Amino acid sequence: MRTIPHFIGGSPLAGTGRTSDVFDPNTGKVQAKVTLGDKALLDKAVADAKAAQIGWAEMNPQRRARVMFEFKRLLEANMDELAHLLSSEHGKVITDSKGDIQRGLEVVEFACGIPHLMKGEYTGGAGPGIDVYSIRQPLGVVAGITPFNFPAMIPMWMFAPALACGNSFILKPSERDPSVPVRLAELAIEAGLPKGVLNVVQGDKEVVDAILDHPDIKAVSFVGSSDIAQYVYGRGAAAGKRMQCMGGAKNHGIILPDADLDQAVADIMGAAYGSAGERCMALPVVVPVGEETAKRLRQKLVAAAESLRVGISTDAEAHYGPVVSAAHKKKIESYIQLGVDEGAELVMDGRGFSLQGHEEGFFLAPTLFDHVKPSMKTYQDEIFGPVLQMVRAESFAEALQLPSKHAYGNGVAIFTRNGDAAREFATEVEVGMVGINVPIPVPVAYHSFGGWKRSGFGDLNQYGSDGVRFFTRVKTVTQRWPKGGPVTDQSFVIPTMK
């Protein structure tokens, strides 16, 4: 059976020791093994990365940008192959895998502007003969730990700005779909990145802990579920590292009575069920405001969800594919049962769906609940599957409170024609990313991505200007070049501008 390697020092490296199964979610069969690294391997990767970083950081930013330009070209040239590889391990449909790669590629595009983005600040004549300037310098070796659901986009959110800034990078991808990150590293080397600057260390908690404790890793970017994000944040910060840790989500779509319901329903279908709901910016909760809106919305949602096609990843007609693993499918099914037990109304039950010829695949049909209450565990928890929950609100104020009071605060969307209401909502809601008639408000590459509350630990967001800030540190130089003349008096007072 095929074994997926690490990628260290510029080449694939077969591992030894423990392995983990990599499934094809379409068939339910194990298609490969991935080798799980350990502390010794991580030490080797960090030593290589540390040695390679010096020359890479010394290269001028325009040359580093050229590597990024070429990497972007190679991503485009290899898009089909990458998308098929991604879908075969993740299960999302090919068009969606291309979206996954494209959103990462757009961060690479942003990183191509690094000569401009890294420019510092300068004040001439801050005092007599005194100039002050600040420069941004790379941190050294930095690391990224990524989830299964975007195996191309999220690694690129992290390593594109980190590398462009002159760091070297250790990527610890999800053990569930580990092949695409290795291909990305190969393409980066092909694009001219020096060997050792980008490394992929496969693994699980053992490697994560080794990363968090390693004295030569200066910053760690993490994306995954909230409990792990909080653990990673705490352990890394305690070791003195710069940390940014994005967590889980439970995003709400608020439907005001004046919304264009047909458009909203079309948008909700993709946002709730696309990628089988396995997106941190999915929209698994809809909140119609008022009984009349709820009645009309429910009718339209049922009709639209019933017409969705669930299929294998390579089925060009399928709206979404299987979920990532048998264990995850079981977890989603148990949440559906819990919803019933808690007293929500199960309008559409996605359990028991079987795809002819792929009976062992990890498929679930769309599930829809109505009359879900904020007190229910199925509302409070992230389910991360093709399950849409309707929570009815009587007023705008009640609808605004729901996402604001929820433990997660990643994304939210409001559907309305009323600019006043939308503006008030966007200002007041306690959530990091807001969509106004936009169901999945993942910010473009030159803004930045980050949730609030249990959806994000740390202060700087992913990519955009925040990405550059996270992967650099500022050094401020105050210089004086006196013209000569008499020696100034000794002073024991802190220098001021008085």
**Catalytic center residues:** 280
In this chain, which residue has its C-beta nearest to ligand NAD? 224
User: Is residue 481 exposed (0-12), middle (13-18) or buried (19+ Cβ within 10 Å)?
Assistant: exposed
Q: What's the CA gap between 152 and 155, in Å, rounded?
A: 6
Q: What's the CA gap between 436 and 254, in Å, rounded?
A: 10
- Among 301, 281, 302, 292, smallest CA distance to 256 is for 292
Of 52 and 249, CB closest to ligand NAD: 249
From the list 30-38, 240-248, 259-267, 474-482, the region that binds ligand NAD by CB under 6 A is 240-248
Q: What's the CA gap between 225 and 331, in Å, rounded?
A: 15
Name which of residues 441 to 480 contact ligand NAD (CB under 6 A).
Answer: 451, 455
> Shortest distance, CB of residue 479 to ligand NAD, whole angstroms?
41
Beta bridge partners of 7: 12, 200
3-class DSSP assignment, residue 234: helix
228 contributes a contact to ligand NAD by CB under 6 A: yes
| Residues contacting 289, CB < 8 A, separation 6+ | 254, 255, 256, 257, 393, 394, 395, 396, 398, 399
Of 206 and 424, CB closest to ligand NAD: 206
Task: Look at strands 29-35 and 19-24 and give their pairing.
Answer: antiparallel
Characterize 441-466 residue by residue with b for buried, 16 or more Cβ atoms within 10 angstroms of its Cβ, and e for exposed: bbbebeebbbbebbbbbbebbbbbeb
Task: Look at strands 3-4 and 29-35 and give their pairing.
Answer: parallel
From the list 80-88, 92-100, 241-249, 257-265, the region that binds ligand NAD by CB under 6 A is 241-249
> Shortest distance, CB of residue 36 to ligand NAD, whole angstroms?
9
> Shortest distance, CB of residue 207 to ligand NAD, whole angstroms?
8
- Among 452, 403, 458, 396, smallest CA distance to 421 is for 396
Type of residue at 250: K
Of 85 and 265, CB closest to ligand NAD: 85
DSSP state, 462? Answer: B
Q: What's the CA gap between 179 and 3, in Å, rounded?
A: 10
Site mask, ligand NAD, residues 167-206, x = CB under 6 A?
A: -----x-xx----------------------------xx-
In the set 185, 280, 383, 400, which binds ligand NAD (CB under 6 A)?
Answer: 280
In the set 7, 110, 148, 335, which binds ligand NAD (CB under 6 A)?
Answer: 148
> Shortest distance, CB of residue 460 to ligand NAD, whole angstroms?
13
Of 422 and 431, CB closest to ligand NAD: 431
Q: Is the separation of the CB atoms in 289 and 415 below 8 Å?
A: no
Of 297 and 336, CB closest to ligand NAD: 336
> Shortest distance, CB of residue 76 to ligand NAD, whole angstroms?
24
Of 145 and 261, CB closest to ligand NAD: 145
User: Is residue 391 exposed (0-12), middle (13-18) or buried (19+ Cβ within 10 Å)?
Assistant: buried
223 contributes a contact to ligand NAD by CB under 6 A: yes
> Shortest distance, CB of residue 200 to ligand NAD, whole angstroms?
12
3-class DSSP assignment, residue 448: coil
Of 209 and 342, CB closest to ligand NAD: 209
Q: Is the separation of the CB atoms in 321 and 25 below 8 Å?
A: yes
In the set 117, 187, 208, 336, which binds ligand NAD (CB under 6 A)?
Answer: 208
Site mask, ligand NAD, residues 390-429, x = CB under 6 A?
A: --------------------x-------------------
147 contributes a contact to ligand NAD by CB under 6 A: yes
In the set 384, 396, 415, 471, which binds ligand NAD (CB under 6 A)?
Answer: 384
149 contributes a contact to ligand NAD by CB under 6 A: yes
The tokens for 173 are 């991808």
439 contributes a contact to ligand NAD by CB under 6 A: no
Beta bridge partners of 143: 170, 220
Beta bridge partners of 11: 8
Backbone angles phi, psi at 304, to 5 degrees: -70, -40
Count of residues near ligand NAD by CB under 6 A: 26
> Shortest distance, CB of residue 474 to ligand NAD, whole angstroms?
25
Backbone angles phi, psi at 99, to 5 degrees: -65, -40
> Shortest distance, CB of residue 20 to ligand NAD, whole angstroms?
9
Of 249 and 364, CB closest to ligand NAD: 249
In the set 61, 91, 247, 288, which binds ligand NAD (CB under 6 A)?
Answer: 247
Residue at token pair 């949440």: 335
Binding site for ligand NAD (CB under 6 A): 145-150, 172, 174-175, 204-205, 208, 223-225, 228, 246-249, 280, 382, 384, 410, 451, 455
